[in-house]
Structure 1
């Protein structure tokens, strides 16, 4: 499935909910299904800078595709990183680098987060894209 198709799927899922309390509950549920990061990667090297809560992300390349595992010490944040892992996981680094994240606006996520969480969301997207750049550079060399 392409990044765009996954994003459209998420937009459809969020459109099923009438209010933001239901959407927050759904985000929390998504966090519970997150492929958890191995404890050995819960280090400062894997923490996403710019997040109010702690968010750890690990990336590894498998057959020219990036796989991500992650965790957070906050339930909403864990759900947010779960959404991003779902969108970008299993994708080619070049596709991740070129992907837009307008779907986050479409589901209303940015506007319904506190300013510090919204900044954290931007930091998470930036970090996943930085992993993609690093692995794409490896592929090109």
Structure 2
């Protein structure tokens, strides 16, 4: 999967929103397959109109995220958030300002309110995972 910076650069290169949506869909298609064992209620993200699942595993100090959705654009948003957060420590995840990181994508002006709510629910879930994982 491409790095968040590479995705941001590619996205900025695309002028038309139709192309940007296609790019998001391609990001989602390139996600690592989501394990069936964690496609359950415990891993489902609440607040999303489509079905979204997120799983987090530890790799040393890093939190490794996997995700999936049954909607193409939302799956692309899952991929975008995985690129932003996966592989970081809990402290790094919590120190990342999602609004600032995602601002260059101008998503809030081009996503439906339902997708925007879903994006915020995914971010909230990732931050909650990091909160539970951080050392006291």
Structure 2: 5+ residue runs without aligned partners?
none
What SS is found at the alignment partner of 2:87? coil
Per the alignment, residue 82 of structure 1 pairs with: 79
The CA distance in 1 between the partners of 2:129 and 2:46, in whole Å, is: 14
Per the alignment, residue 16 of structure 2 pairs with: 19
Per the alignment, residue 97 of structure 2 pairs with: 100
The CA distance in 2 between the partners of 1:106 and 1:51, in whole Å, is: 23
The CA distance in 2 between the partners of 1:118 and 1:126, in whole Å, is: 12
Q: CA RMSD in A?
A: 1.2
The CA distance in 2 between the partners of 1:7 and 1:31, in whole Å, is: 14
Shift of 1:10: 3.1
Per the alignment, residue 3 of structure 1 pairs with: none
Per the alignment, residue 38 of structure 1 pairs with: 35
Residues 1-141 of structure 1 correspond to what in structure 2 (within 5 A)? 7-101=4-98, 102-136=100-134, 139-140=135-136
Shift of 1:8: 4.0
The CA distance in 2 between the partners of 1:129 and 1:34, in whole Å, is: 20
Shift of 1:76: 0.5
The CA distance in 1 between the partners of 2:33 and 2:125, in whole Å, is: 17
TM-score by length of structure 2 reads 0.92
**Number of residue pairs matched by the alignment:** 133
The CA distance in 2 between the partners of 1:13 and 1:123, in whole Å, is: 25
TM-score by length of structure 1 reads 0.89
